[in-house]
C-alpha cells in the first residue's frame, strides 16, 4: 500500500471550511476587545493549514496507518520484546485515585500509591528471589547503571578499592558494557563457547582479585539458557565479586526459576518486556532493580518503608547515608508500576508460568517451522527467542540478512532484529513472544520459507525489496549522516 507522505502544510490548501476560521467574523458584533481587552486581539492571520475538516481527518488517519505495531500483526523483534499490552492495565493506571495524585503530595495523602509500590515490591521479591526492589530507574539500561553503582558502593564500603574490573560475556547486550563503563569499571570480556554459552574455562582464566563482579544475561542474547549458571555465580562469589543478572529476558523464566536462587545479588527487569507495559523508549518506562540484603544500604533514596507493624502506614525514607543517591525523581514512573502490578495480579502465579511456557513454545515452534530454510548457528534448545542466519543464502546467491528482512515487509511482517548479537554473522533474531497467535506464527513461518525459496529462484526480488512501500531502500548511512527531515 502506498501512503502519502506530505506534511499537512504541503497539501493543496483548498479547504473552504478552514476559511471560515481564518475570515473575520461578521455575524456577532466584534465587541471582543471591549469585553476581554485589546491585548488579546490577534494581530496576524492564524498559521493553520487551509483545509476542510475531512481533509485534516484523512491526513491524520492515513498518517496513523503508516505505523506498524503489535496491534497490526506479528512483531518478532528479538531482544526488544514487542508483546501485546493488555488494555485493562491502562484503565487501572488511569483510575482517578492514581491519575490525580502528585509526587509532591504529603505521604499521608498518597498511602494508596505507596501501598501499591510496597505490594509490587513484595511480588517481585517473590517472583525473582530477591530481598528488595527499587522502582526509580526509567528503563533497562538505567537499571543496569543503578545496579552496577550499588555494586561499586558495596566494594567501596568494604574499602575494596582495587576491584575495578567487570566481567561481561561477548554475547551481552551493548548496554551492559556501556553501563559498567559509565560506572567507571574496566570491562573484561568472556568468550562464548561453540554452544553459545559462557566458556567457563575462559571465565576461570579471567578471574583475579581485581574483579568487582560479573554481568550475565540469562537466557543470554542468543536465546539460550546458561546451563552452568550456578557454577559461574559460585566462582565469582569465591573470588569476592558480586553477580549481576540482566533480567531483560525474564519473559522466558517467569515462575520457572529465579535469579536469586541462581546466586545473583542484583537483577534488573525490563517491565515492558516481561509485564506487558508499553515500551518506555528509554524514558518514561521502568527498569526496577532487585537486590539481596547485602546491598540494601546502597539503594537509591527514598525507600518505601512500613511505619507500623500492621502494614497500613508507609513513609518515604530519605535518611540513608550510604545510598547511591537518586537516579530519578521521586519513586520513578508510578503509572508504569501500576500497569506492572495490574499485569501480575491479572495473571497470578499460574498465569505467569503459562506466559513463560508460551513464550518459549512459540519461539521453538517458529524455529522448527523454518529450520530447513535457514542456517541455525546454535543447537541448544531455544528459549524465548532464537537466531537464524542468512549464511546459506549469502554463500550461494549473494543475499544478505538485510534483503530477507526487507522482503518480509512486503509480506506484511515486521522484520526481526538483524545483525545482533554481534558474535553471529548475518544474524536474524526472532522473538514471537507469548502473545503471538498460532495463525500469526504460521503466517510468519510461511513468509520466511517463501522468501528462502525466492532467494534461489529470483534473488533480485530480495535485493531490491521492499516493493510495496512508499520508500524502498534509503541509503541508511547517508540518512544517518545527513538527515533531511523536511522536504
Where along the sequence are the contacts to ligand PLP (CB under 6 A)?
79-80, 139-141, 173, 175, 217, 221, 246, 248-249, 270, 282, 287
Cβ-based burial of 333 (10 A; exposed 0-12, middle 13-18, buried ≥19): buried
User: H helices then E strands: how many in the chain?
Assistant: 18, 12
Distance of CA 52 to the CA centre of its chain: 40
> Measured between alpha carbons, how far is 275 from 346 in angstroms, rounded to an integer?
11
Strand 417-418 to 132-134 pairing: unpaired
| The three three-digit cell numbers of residue 145, written as one number | 547503571
| Neighbour count for residue 418 (Cβ, 10 Å) | 18
Classify 54 as helix, strand or coil.
helix
The nearer residue to ligand PLP, 80 or 291, going by C-beta atoms, is: 80
Which residue is nearest to ligand PLP, using beta carbons? 140
The nearer residue to ligand PLP, 264 or 314, going by C-beta atoms, is: 264
Question: Cell 531490491 appears where?
Answer: 464
Q: How far is the CB of 166 from ligand PLP (least distance, A)?
A: 15
The nearer residue to ligand PLP, 69 or 282, going by C-beta atoms, is: 282
The nearer residue to ligand PLP, 249 or 433, going by C-beta atoms, is: 249
The nearer residue to ligand PLP, 270 or 340, going by C-beta atoms, is: 270
Q: How far is the CB of 280 from ligand PLP (least distance, A)?
A: 7
Question: Cell 539481596 appears where?
Answer: 292
Longest dimension (CA), the chain: 88
Q: How far is the CB of 479 from ligand PLP (least distance, A)?
A: 22
Phi first, then psi: what are they for 289, rounded to 5°?
Answer: -120, 125
The nearer residue to ligand PLP, 217 or 393, going by C-beta atoms, is: 217
Q: How far is the CB of 21 from ligand PLP (least distance, A)?
A: 43
- The strand pairing partners of 169, in sequence order, are 190
- The strand pairing partners of 317, in sequence order, are 303
Q: How far is the CB of 142 from ligand PLP (least distance, A)?
A: 6
Q: How far is the CB of 309 from ligand PLP (least distance, A)?
A: 37
Q: How far is the CB of 15 from ligand PLP (least distance, A)?
A: 42
The nearer residue to ligand PLP, 175 or 435, going by C-beta atoms, is: 175
Classify 332 as helix, strand or coil.
coil
Amino acid at each position: 500500500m502506498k501512503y502519502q507522505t506530505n506534511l499537512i502544510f504541503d497539501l493543496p490548501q483548498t479547504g473552504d471550511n478552514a476559511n471560515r476560521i481564518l475570515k473575520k467574523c461578521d455575524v456577532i458584533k466584534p465587541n471582543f476587545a471591549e469585553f476581554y481587552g485589546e491585548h488579546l486581539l490577534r494581530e496576524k492571520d492564524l498559521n493553520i493549514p487551509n483545509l476542510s475538516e475531512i481533509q485534516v481527518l484523512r491526513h491524520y488517519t492515513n498518517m496513523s496507518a503508516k505505523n506498524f505495531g503489535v496491534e497490526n500483526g506479528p512483531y518478532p523483534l528479538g531482544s526488544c520484546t514487542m508483546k501485546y499490552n493488555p488494555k485493562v492495565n491502562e484503565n487501572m493506571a488511569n483510575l482517578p485515585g492514581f491519575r490525580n495524585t502528585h509526587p509532591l503530595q504529603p505521604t499521608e495523602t498518597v498511602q494508596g500509591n505507596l501501598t501499591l509500590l510496597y505490594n509490587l515490591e513484595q511480588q517481585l521479591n517473590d517472583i525473582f528471589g530477591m530481598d528488595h526492589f527499587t522502582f526509580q530507574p526509567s528503563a533497562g539500561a538505567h537499571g543496569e547503571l543503578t545496579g552496577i553503582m550499588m555494586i561499586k558502593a558495596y566494594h567501596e564500603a568494604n574499602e575494596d578499592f582495587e576491584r575495578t574490573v567487570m566481567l561481561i560475556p561477548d554475547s551481552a547486550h551493548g548496554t551492559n558494557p556501556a553501563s559498567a563503563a559509565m560506572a567507571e569499571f574496566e570491562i573484561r570480556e568472556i568468550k562464548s563457547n561453540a554452544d553459545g554459552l559462557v566458556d567457563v574455562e575462559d571465565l576461570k582464566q579471567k578471574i583475579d582479585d581485581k574483579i568487582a563482579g560479573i554481568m550475565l544475561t540469562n537466557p543470554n542474547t542468543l536465546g539460550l539458557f546458561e546451563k552452568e549458571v550456578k557454577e559461574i555465580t559460585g566462582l565469582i562469589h569465591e573470588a569476592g565479586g558480586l553477580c549481576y543478572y540482566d533480567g531483560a529476558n525474564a519473559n522466558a523464566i517467569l515462575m520457572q526459576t529465579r535469579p536469586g536462587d541462581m546466586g545473583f545479588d542484583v537483577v534488573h527487569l525490563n517491565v515492558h518486556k516481561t509485564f506487558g507495559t508499553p515500551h518506555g523508549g528509554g524514558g518514561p518506562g521502568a527498569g526496577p532493580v532487585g537486590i539481596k540484603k547485602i546491598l540494601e544500604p546502597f539503594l537509591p533514596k527514598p525507600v518505601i518503608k512500613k511505619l507500623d507493624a500492621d502494614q497500613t502506614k508507609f513513609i518515604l525514607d530519605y535518611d540513608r547515608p550510604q545510598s547511591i543517591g537518586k537516579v530519578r525523581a521521586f519513586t520513578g514512573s508510578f503509572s508504569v508500576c501500576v500497569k506492572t502490578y495490574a499485569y501480575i495480579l491479572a495473571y497470578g502465579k499460574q498465569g505467569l508460568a503459562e506466559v513463560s511456557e508460551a513464550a518459549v513454545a512459540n519461539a521453538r515452534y517458529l524455529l522448527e517451522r523454518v529450520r530447513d530454510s535457514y542456517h541455525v548457528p546454535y543447537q541448544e534448545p531455544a528459549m524465548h527467542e532464537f537466531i537464524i542466519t542468512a549464511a546459506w543464502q549469502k554463500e550461494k546467491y549473494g543475499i544478505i540478512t538485510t534483503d530477507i528482512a526487507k522482503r518480509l515487509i512486503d509480506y506484511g511482517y515486521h522484520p526481526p532484529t538483524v545483525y545482533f548479537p554481534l558474535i553471529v554473522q548475518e544474524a536474524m533474531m526472532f522473538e514471537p513472544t507469548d502473545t503471538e497467535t498460532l495463525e500469526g506464527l504460521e503466517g510468519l513461518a510461511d513468509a520466511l520459507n517463501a522468501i528462502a525459496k525466492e532467494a534461489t529462484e529470483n534473488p533480485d526480488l530480495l535485493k531490491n525489496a521492499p516493493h510495496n512501500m512508499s520508500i524502498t531502500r534509503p541509503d541508511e548511512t547517508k540518512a544517518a549522516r545527513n538527515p533531511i527531515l523536511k522536504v
